[in-house]
Structure 1
Amino acid sequence: MHEKPRIVSGVEVIPLCDAVGPMGEALRKPLDDTFTGARPALWERTRAEAPEAFGPDGEWILHFHCYLLRVPAGPTVLVDAGLGPEESPASSWAPVPGRLPTALAEIGVKPESVDTVVLTHLHSDHASGAVVDGKPLFPNARHVVQEDELTWLEGEGGDVLDEVVTPLQEAECLDTLQGQTRIAEDIKVVPTPGHTPGHQSVVLGDDQLMVSGDVVLHPVQLADPAIEYVYDEDSAAAATTRTAVLRKLRKSGGLLAAPHLPEPFVRLS
């Protein structure tokens, strides 16, 4: 599945569709319980404007996008690593296997040519594809997360820590950041906490585009950023971050690249 790339601030931004499907039974809840605070009229409006986000029975259909950033005469940056193989940590709830390796091959990108992998956060659907068969899929890449994110996950434990983070650490290719960091000309990483404590997003130019991870998960949150998501670690902080991000992008006229929305790029009105 090929998506149309964009040139933003001189950087080619290529969306890569890793998977499409509903949340598995392990985590699935009715939409009103998954996203709280939306009135029925707003749900109806959202269904009419973004039908691809809903299944035949009204369930949430997630799109799982990763983004490749090509900087002229500069690094190749991958934002998020997707679901990973069939037995990855994401397999308990997401439509594995992810097709990120295939999507990269379709545009002529070999894993060893990726210079930096930005993991917006350490949930299984964003990080699991970084490690395959116990080894980094992108062997020459610096993998970057916020220090607060790693500290949080180490306290939580779980499969992502054991099967993704530990192999990256053992390969000495996982780096932690503290706050806003420029990783290439016109590309910076900025903290966007709430969904997880160390969640980060990638910004191109002067807020011309943001790859926002899980700051915005469903189109209903574009209409009302105060709508909370049941799986946010800190729902109030997530809503505050979401409101600020959408306000900033509206002011700049920038694009939102939110991995779980049906369209890989959204220009806010």
Structure 2
Amino acid sequence: MPQLSRRAFASALPLGLLGGSLFGGMIEGASALAATQEAAKAPVSVTPLAQIRIGRFTVTALTDGYADMPYDYFPGRTAAEVEQAAVAQFTARPSGVRLLFNQYLVEDGERRILIDAGTAGSIGQTGQLPQALAALGLQRDQIDAVIVTHMHQDHMGGLILGGKNNYPKAELYIDRRDVTHWTDAAKRNGAPDYLQTSFKMAEEVVRLYPRLQAIDGEREIVRGVSIVDLTGHTPGHIGVRVEDAGQSLIMVSDMIFPVVHPAATDVFFLFEQDRAAAKAMRDRFFPRAASEGALIAATHMPFPGLGRVVADRGQMRWQIADWALQN
């Protein structure tokens, strides 16, 4: 994700729950926004963690922090429409929609696999992933593998914080199409300013991680942990399926953004270079996820990012899943 030039970040972790359609169920905007802003003044100092079991796997939701994305960062709707929907869903802040940066640690007793590495302070109020790992008694050199779902700065910044390899014992997995795209000098020269940080970080990742494995298509990383192709948000955007003993969880990264998804697939996020591809993937994925009742984890949904896409009277909506009762 880009380094934002239009931002004024608030000072608390999110309070809101997400649900309903993009424009359905509106409430009194002014009073709801005022209440949300007042609640945001309360400081939060805890490190949030949430765990579930998927067969032999323990999956822990972590967070690197949050940022407020301007309302005009969602092409396909006006800023006023996005703000109105955000107010209705209690994710509105003075400077935009409150987004989380969730990461997920997958453990099976033998390996520790981290899905995404956070933004590491390059956006908003972030940089908390090392503390979240420490709350589990872990240091970054105890991670065996890192899967980067795509090469936007909020998903890889933690890999190279301080200009060094912060996961020295980890194998690194990134889709080859993303590696190719984000290390292409011609593409970087033609890209807008807000994507330059991601291009620069991508070069650093390739330089600092000799164990980088540029992967091609869907494949199994270890037994029960496999790559899902979700191309669209970026050329090599991927998800991760964790599956064992008849249970499964799909981490879908940036397939779903708060407020606008899954109700509308014709609403985008600013840095999606190929909007047609992003829409096409969501048009395919959301109905399938709804029909299968798939348990989903998403980077930017309210912590811990767990829910399902459900069909409700002909419209798709996000149904929060009770993390504590998934076992």
TM-score range, shorter chain: 0.7 to 0.9
Give CA deviations for 1:21-64 in whole Å, capped at 9, x if unaligned: 213xxxx4x34x6241489889756643x31x221x37211111
Given candidates 152, 156, 160, the residue that maps to 1:127 is: 156
Residue 21 of structure 1 corresponds to 67
Question: Gaps (5+ residues) in structure 2?
Answer: 1-46, 189-195, 311-327
Q: Which moved more, 1:157-166 or 1:127-136?
A: 157-166
Task: Report whether the alignment pairs 1:266 with 2:297.
Answer: no
Provide the C-alpha distance between the structure 2 equivalents of 1:17 and 1:76, rounded to a whole number of angstroms.
17
Does 2:69 correspond to 1:69? Answer: no
State the match for 1:143 in structure 2: 172
Structure 1 segment 149-160 matched on structure 2, within 5 A: 149-155=178-184, 156-157=187-188, 158-160=196-198
2: distance between equivalents of 1:124 and 1:167?
11
SS in 2 for 1:136: coil
| Residue 220 of structure 2 is aligned to residue 191 of structure 1 | no
Query: TM (normalized to structure 1)?
Result: 0.83
Q: Against the structure 1 CA distance between its residues 207 and 257, is the aligned structure 2 distance closer, same or farther, given a 3 Å change threshold?
A: same
CA drift at 1:242: 1.8
Seen in structure 2, the aligned counterparts of structure 1 residues 151 and 46 have a Cα distance that, compared at 3 Å, is same
Instruction: Specify the code of the residue in structure 1 equivalent to 2:249.
Output: L
Long gaps (5+) in structure 1: none
Q: In 2 relative to 1, CA 37–114 (structure 1 residues): closer, same or farther, beyond 3 Å?
A: same
8 Å CA contact 2:102–2:299 kept in 1: the answer is yes
Residues 161-220 of structure 1, C-alpha deviation per residue, up to 9 Å, x if partnerless? 444543543441211000001012211012211111111111122783211111112232
1:227 matches 2:267: yes
| 8 A Cα contact 1:253 1:267, kept in partner | yes
Q: Which residue of 1 aligns with 2:321?
A: none
Alignment-mate amino acid for residue 201 of structure 1: G
The alignment yields a C-alpha RMSD, in angstroms, of 2.5
The TM-score with structure 2 as length reference comes to 0.70
Distance 1:12 1:145 in 2: 22
CA-to-aligned-CA distance 1:223-268 (integer Å, 9 cap, x gap)? 2233222321111111121232222322222222111111411123
CA contact (8 A) 2:160 2:201 kept: yes
Q: CA 1:229–1:163 in structure 2 vs 1: closer, same or farther (change >3 Å)? A: closer
Residues 73-131 of structure 1: CA distance to partner in whole angstroms, max 9, x if unpaired? 332110110012x4xxxx3xx11541100110011122111111011111111101011
Give the structure, 1 or 2, with the largest relative contact order (CA under 8 Å, sep 6 or more).
2
2:248 aligned with 1:248, yes or no?
no
Counterpart for residue 115 of structure 2 = 79
Bigger mean CA deviation after superposition, 241-250 or 37-46 = 37-46
Letter in 2 for 1:166: E
Change (3 A) 1:244 1:10: farther
Greater CA radius of gyration, 1 or 2? Answer: 2
Q: What one-letter code is carried by the residue in structure 2 that aligns with 1:21? A: A
CA distance in 1: counterparts of 2:81 and 2:233, whole angstroms: 26
CA distance in 2 between partners of 1:248 and 1:60 (Å):
27
- d(CA) in 1 for partners of 2:227, 2:220: 6
